[in-house]
Chains A and B, each alone.
Chain A
Amino acid sequence: MAGVAVSTTINGDNFEYLCQPDETLLDVLRDRLGLTGAKEGCGTGDCGACSIILDDRLVCSCLVLGAEAEGRRVETIEGMAHGDTLHPLQQKFLEHAALQCGICTPGFLIAAKDLLAKNPDPTEEEIRFGLAGNLCRCTGYDKIVRAVQDAASVMKGA
């Protein structure tokens, strides 16, 4: 079966790939392009582990077809740090130990980045609602919320 030819931008770089028409963008990122930061948790849009930003919108990449990325802008966790310099959210997740097993972490970081881009000074409640599409079974969320609050104050001062 012939694939769909797709030309897209991922983390600022141009990518071209062939994918099957029913292949998700998550599978394309992980299995064809080697970008394994986005994780597959549920595969049905419930857990947020596969979160990416598509044309400035936070989405689950398991609910996007690879073919849909044609001509669009994709941001993944791999584009978050600049070389060896971590994004403030990444730094604060480390400092606050806002992770244990780490499977949910790339999704939380992307969702938190999107949240702070739209609301640089969120309340605790806004953070909890904003990150409700990301599930974590280790931390109990409190450390994640504190890391995001701390990152927000650092980013505001920057």
Chain B
Amino acid sequence: MRYIRPLSIEDAAGLLAGSTGTAAILAGGSDLLVRMKGGFIEPDLIVDIKAIEGLSEIRETSEGFSIGAAVPCAVLGESKALKKAWPGVVEAANLIGSKQVQGRCTIVGNLCNASPAADSVPALVAAGARAVVVGPAGRRTIAVESVPTGPGKTSLAKGEIIEAILLDKRHPHSGDAYLRFIPRTEMDIAVVSAGVNLTLDEQGRVKSARLALGAVAPTVILVEEAAEVLNGSKLDEATLERLAKVCSGACRPIDDKRGTVEFRRKVAGVLAKRAAITAYKRAGGK
């Protein structure tokens, strides 16, 4: 096995593209090292991306935020500007693992590990986040929801690396929220989760909405009908009931030791309602 710490993203992509065996990207390592320890992966090459300039930074630009692929989730929680603009994304990222794991794990790793139960992903999808992908063919920007294609699988081609996650600058009267159900009080894997992102008009009616559900399908899903239900509303009781119904209906869950199909469907509707109410309040709605 070789361990290489390239200084540029192009070198990192080149190393991955040119590798003949199993190659792995190392940022926080909180998934990779566990999989190596368990014997699920035996990389011939590890490309540590933490020495690449800019990858460990959150940059605030005129267009919003760019979160480097090597930024630990703990750092997201320490960024006042990011927390103010995207509290739902930050609360989701900060739910991953313990303090020890928070010091290492990254949202790009959470996305590329491609678990349907990944905590940060529904919040990122709801936020309309985009991923900057660098590879042999150059640089492209794609929607976050197009990255995972199934449990443990992504749409990234050989040699491609996500360099950063982009979040838009906030419009006024906007808010987002993330909630998950776990049987414990902390440090567990989501049985069901929901991320909601709302922008309101001057009258407090929903102008635009995005809602994503986690752990209820092979990938995190964007529920487009949820936006249709929410748009134009002030989240009255009837709207929330319809929201719960479309969210439960959008689920394609599995039965497993953490939850049944029936339970997941029901809880998806409940969490969607509750996350929508929090997002609405954060957007200044009454």
> Which A residues are within 8 Å of any B CB, using their own CB?
4, 20-22, 24, 43-45, 48, 51, 54, 57-60, 62-65, 67-68, 70, 111, 114-115, 129-134
Within 8 Å CB of B37, what residues of A? 43-44, 62
Q: Give Cα distance in the complex from A152 to B163, angstroms.
A: 40
Most chain B CB atoms below 10 A, which of A20, A54, A68: A68
Contact B26 A132 (CB under 8 A): no
Within 8 Å CB of A54, what residues of B? 103
Nearest B residue to A111 via CB reads B99
Q: What's the minimum C-beta distance from B41 to chain A, rounded to whole angstroms?
A: 11
Contacts A43-B37, A44-B34, A133-B187: A63 and B104 contacting too (C-beta < 8 A)? yes
Interface presence of B74 (CB below 8 A) = yes
Q: What's the minimum C-beta distance from B269 to chain A, rounded to whole angstroms?
A: 28
Q: Give Cα distance in the complex from A20 to B101, angstroms.
A: 23
Interface presence of B238 (CB below 8 A) = no
Given A22-B3, A44-B37, A63-B30, 17 further pairs, Cβ under 8 A: A20-B1, A21-B3, A44-B34, A44-B38, A45-B98, A57-B104, A62-B33, A63-B101, A63-B104, A64-B29, A65-B3, A67-B3, A68-B29, A68-B50, A131-B99, A132-B98, A133-B98
Within 8 Å CB of B38, what residues of A? 44
Q: Give Cα distance in the complex from A54 to B5, angstroms.
A: 18
Which residues of chain B from 60 to 111 have a CB within 8 Å of any chain A CB?
Answer: 72, 74, 97-101, 103-104
Most chain A CB atoms below 10 A, which of B3, B98, B104, B187: B98
Contact A45 B100 (CB under 8 A): yes
Contact A133 B101 (CB under 8 A): yes
Within 8 Å CB of A70, what residues of B? 5
Within 8 Å CB of B145, what residues of A? none
Within 8 Å CB of B100, what residues of A? 45, 48, 51, 58-60, 63, 111, 133
Within 8 Å CB of B3, what residues of A? 4, 21-22, 65, 67
Contact B186 A45 (CB under 8 A): no
Contact B48 A133 (CB under 8 A): no
Instruction: Return the contact of A58 from the options B29, B30, B103 (Cβ within 8 A).
Output: B103
Give 8 closest A-B pairs by Cβ, nearest first: A133-B98, A21-B3, A57-B103, A133-B100, A60-B100, A59-B103, A44-B34, A67-B3
Within 8 Å CB of B186, what residues of A? 129, 132
